[in-house]
Chains A and B, each alone.
Chain A
Amino acid sequence: MIKPDRIVATTCPYCGVGCNLHLHIKDDLVYKVTSPFDSPSNHGNLCVKGRFGYDFIHSKDRLTQPLMRQGERLVPAKWDEAMGHVADRLLEIREKYGPDSIGFLVSAKCTNEENYLMQKVARGLIGTNNIDHCARL
């Protein structure tokens, strides 16, 4: 039996049922997932995605550094450079074409707090209501 370094209680990242999860972690790897029986939405049940669908976290395809376009290619960049460029270009475009020339797609996969802050950036700093996500989809 593997003994977990820690068990972290969290919420399933797949569908809207919102099953409660216990991630069992060893050497910073999720090696097993269970669900507490007293969880209000799923009573300890999980589907195959919630139970086994976690290899993506450790995938070698994960993005690990910012990328910036140089011609046809995307090349690694420093955070400061990438973020500076994003802010400069957005401000420039707003200056030239107005706030409604900029749009934001927020995410049904991100947290409430992230979505709130992103629409705050759009409405509060850029000055546009052009904010949507793929909820309709």
Chain B
Amino acid sequence: MTNSIGDIHLADVLLVTGSNTTEAHPVISLEMKKAVRQRGAQLILIDPREIELADFAAIHLRPRSGTDIALLNAMVHVIIAEGLAKKEFIAARTENFDALAEAVKDCTPQWAEDITGIPAGMLIEAAQVYGRAGSAAIFWAMGITQSTHGTDNVQALANLALLTGNFGRPGTGVNPLRGQNNVQGACDMGGLPNVLTAYQSVTDEAIRTKFETAWGSSVKIPAKPGLTVTELMNGALHGTLKALYVMGENPFLSDPNMNHVEAALRAIEFLVVQDIFLNETAQLADVVLPAVSFAEKEGTFTNTERRIQLVRPALPIIGEARRDLDIICDLGKRLSRSNGSASSDVIHTVTDWNYTGASAVWDEIAILTPTMSGITYGRLERGGIQWPCPTPEHPGTPIMHKEKFTRGLGRFTPLIFREPAENPDDEYPFVLNTGRVLQHWHGGTMSRRSIGLNWVVPEGEIQINTDDGQGLDIATGDLIRVSSRRGEATGKARLTDKLPRGMVFMNFHFAEIPANALTNDAVDPVAKIPEYKVAAVRIERV
């Protein structure tokens, strides 16, 4: 997020798209509702489903799945055509405006209506409300990014915010709501194939040299970015990836096209899984290492607003399990074939894995990561800090891009609408959409073991539109089979008016009804994110 959860209630207009915030980020949805109910903010909701936030929306646009670019380009078209673009902001802080204007010239509301199914009048109204707002904040989640044009979608949203000067002030900004508790941190820490900490690129020689010098003379970081999850799985299938070490993830359930992933995991010569449960991936492993839960360890998580916060050990370790940090340091010692006498330097070389604890690891991260250099455990003890925080005196950054953007000028990106990778057809006439429910989390390894949560929502279900169901002679509770070109899943149907006709909705928390056996692993060419939200399926009674 460029802005903070704490300033959501200061927005005049909230544009929420591709996020069922109530279910996936419940406490953030409270702030949004507060803005609407207490301050009269207007909510523009873009979602094909009638999710709970629709009750709070001034305008609810329900586009056909995968047509976001057409919708957003048309909004840009209207804002420019009606003179609502903020000329001073555009002149002072952005570039490439002319290319954007040229690209959306023909993206009229009528054109967008034909593609998205949203009445042109509603589209115009939404653009006017957003364009006229004193402060407008945009929020999105996986509904935007899990698409073969996810990168385009995000840029289209950034175009809207740049066009209207909605950056750098309270209640504005472009705000991705990150899913997992520490997905922000995993990215920040270099858990990506192309960057080291804080997005320092592996292709930059100066950056590589900095880390190589710090980590020790034997280190040579490759200049070529590595493989993404999806590419790793392909590599395993093609026999080029021989070993995979999985820490705290269950790609078996969370990756798209499950049958493909299972084949890949089985094909790998050597699979190591470090986790707290024997999940589906671990069952295929050659070695399983028992780790500990968040309640038994020390460290930090970074939330969706870039706030780094302490995780404190609260319970003794169960059985012979070990803290992940201790497992990794043990691995490091063994791989470097050295017990490396502990040096007094803050930065440990790759032959010295004798960290005194998580805070010692953090001190090393802080030195190597300019945007976090001002953060210490001592400061975090007094409360979380939002990066960038370059110096010990720096208070952290609740709102980014105040005076200028990270790259200097904000750049408009002209975008062209493309259809999703797979549209419904005669054989597979429905669109499958996937998502979460409030009571469960991901593959359910944690939430399904919590008695209360499992009592409220004990099983998965397959939602279809009421009219569609009746047409196919399906009633709520009937067992139905959903199949796509990649696999199938069987479960109980629930008929609902909250879905548009032609849509099937499944959550991905239940291994017995695996939504990801059906989803498409076609990926966005830049972000390499699979298209979870649009897959063509058919349904039938069993």
Q: Which of A14, A53, A65, A110 contacts B324 (CB 8 A)?
A: A110
Residue pair A111, B311 in contact (C-beta under 8 Å): yes
Residue pair A110, B222 in contact (C-beta under 8 Å): no
CB closest chain-A residue, reference B275 = A63
Q: Tell yes or no: B529 within 8 A of A by CB.
A: yes
Residue pair B295, A23 in contact (C-beta under 8 Å): yes
A-B contact count (CB 8 A): 440
**B203-225 interface with A by 8 A CB criterion:** 211, 215-216, 219-222, 224-225
CB closest chain-A residue, reference B453 = A53
Q: Tell yes or no: B537 within 8 A of A by CB.
A: no
Q: Tell yes or no: B307 within 8 A of A by CB.
A: yes
Q: Tell yes or no: B500 within 8 A of A by CB.
A: no
Q: Which of B221, B297, B331 contacts A129 (CB 8 A)?
A: B221
Which of B130-138, B163-171, B175-183, B466-474 binds A?
B175-183
Query: Cα distance A45–B256 when bound, in Å?
Result: 33
What chain B residues lie within 8 Å of A99 (beta carbons)?
A: 222
Query: Cα distance A28–B318 when bound, in Å?
Result: 10
What chain B residues lie within 8 Å of A10 (beta carbons)?
A: 294-295, 310-312, 314
Q: Tell yes or no: B99 within 8 A of A by CB.
A: no
Query: Cα distance A110–B361 when bound, in Å?
Result: 14
Q: Tell yes or no: B278 within 8 A of A by CB.
A: yes
Query: Cα distance A125–B211 when bound, in Å?
Result: 13
What chain A residues lie within 8 Å of B302 (beta carbons)?
A: 18, 112
What chain B residues lie within 8 Å of A77 (beta carbons)?
A: 287
Residue pair B186, A108 in contact (C-beta under 8 Å): yes
Q: Tell yes or no: B54 within 8 A of A by CB.
A: no
Q: Tell yes or no: B247 within 8 A of A by CB.
A: yes
Residue pair B304, A18 in contact (C-beta under 8 Å): yes
What chain A residues lie within 8 Å of B106 (beta carbons)?
A: none
CB closest chain-B residue, reference A22 = B314
Q: Tell yes or no: B249 within 8 A of A by CB.
A: yes
Residue pair B441, A112 in contact (C-beta under 8 Å): no
- Beyond A69-B287, A89-B270, whether A17 also contacts B28 by CB under 8 A is yes
Q: Tell yes or no: A130 within 8 A of B by CB.
A: yes
Query: Cα distance A54–B296 when bound, in Å?
Result: 13
Query: Cα distance A58–B247 when bound, in Å?
Result: 20
Q: Tell yes or no: B276 within 8 A of A by CB.
A: yes
What chain B residues lie within 8 Å of A117 (beta carbons)?
A: 325, 328-329, 332, 361
Which of B73-81, B442-450, B478-486 binds A?
B442-450
Q: Which of B215, B220, B530 contacts A136 (CB 8 A)?
A: B530
Q: Which of B178, B189, B383, B528 contacts A112 (CB 8 A)?
A: B189
Residue pair A62, B319 in contact (C-beta under 8 Å): yes
Query: Cα distance A8–B194 when bound, in Å?
Result: 37
B308: min CB distance to chain A, Å: 7
What chain A residues lie within 8 Å of B313 (beta carbons)?
A: 8
Interface size on A, residues (CB 8 A): 97
Residue pair B226, A128 in contact (C-beta under 8 Å): yes
Residue pair B293, A136 in contact (C-beta under 8 Å): no
Q: Tell yes or no: B172 within 8 A of A by CB.
A: no
**A39-87 interface with B by 8 A CB criterion:** 40-42, 45-50, 52-59, 61-69, 74, 77, 79, 82-87
Residue pair B365, A110 in contact (C-beta under 8 Å): no
Residue pair A136, B229 in contact (C-beta under 8 Å): yes
Residue pair A131, B181 in contact (C-beta under 8 Å): no
What chain A residues lie within 8 Å of B288 (beta carbons)?
A: 63, 66-68, 74
Q: Tell yes or no: B248 within 8 A of A by CB.
A: yes
CB closest chain-B residue, reference A18 = B303
Q: Tell yes or no: B415 within 8 A of A by CB.
A: no
What chain A residues lie within 8 Å of B315 (beta carbons)?
A: 25, 28, 30, 57
Q: Tell yes or no: B255 within 8 A of A by CB.
A: yes
- Beyond A10-B294, A46-B27, whether A103 also contacts B453 by CB under 8 A is no
Query: Cα distance A95–B515 when bound, in Å?
Result: 39
CB closest chain-A residue, reference B286 = A69
What chain B residues lie within 8 Å of A136 (beta carbons)?
A: 145-146, 228-229, 527-530
- Beyond A82-B289, A128-B222, whether A133 also contacts B307 by CB under 8 A is no
Query: Cα distance A16–B445 when bound, in Å?
Result: 17
Interface flags for A4-25 (1: CB within 8 Å of B; 0: not) read 0010111111111111100101
Q: Which of A18, A108, A125, A132 contacts B335 (CB 8 A)?
A: A125
Q: Tell yes or no: B452 within 8 A of A by CB.
A: yes
Q: Tell yes or no: B94 within 8 A of A by CB.
A: no
Interface flags for B425-448 (1: CB within 8 Å of A; 0: not) read 000000000000011110001110
Q: Tell yes or no: B290 within 8 A of A by CB.
A: yes
Residue pair A137, B530 in contact (C-beta under 8 Å): yes
B406: min CB distance to chain A, Å: 20
Q: Which of A48, A69, A125 has the most CB of B within 10 A?
A: A125
- Beyond A82-B287, A101-B240, whether A16 also contacts B25 by CB under 8 A is yes
Q: Which of B226, B298, B446 has the most CB of A within 10 A?
A: B226
What chain A residues lie within 8 Å of B542 (beta carbons)?
A: none
A40: min CB distance to chain B, Å: 6
Residue pair A121, B179 in contact (C-beta under 8 Å): no
Q: Tell yes or no: B389 within 8 A of A by CB.
A: no
Residue pair A129, B216 in contact (C-beta under 8 Å): no
Residue pair B6, A40 in contact (C-beta under 8 Å): yes
Residue pair A86, B272 in contact (C-beta under 8 Å): yes
- 16 A-B residue contacts at CB 8 Å? A10-B310, A14-B447, A16-B304, A45-B30, A53-B447, A74-B278, A82-B287, A90-B243, A96-B242, A103-B245, A110-B324, A121-B328, A124-B215, A125-B336, A129-B202, A132-B191
| 5 cross-chain pairs, A with B, having the tightest CB-CB distances, nearest first | A64-B319, A18-B303, A111-B299, A129-B226, A107-B248
Q: A10-B310, A113-B365 are in contact. List 8 more A-B contacts (CB 8 A).
A: A17-B303, A18-B307, A52-B450, A86-B245, A93-B242, A103-B243, A111-B182, A120-B350
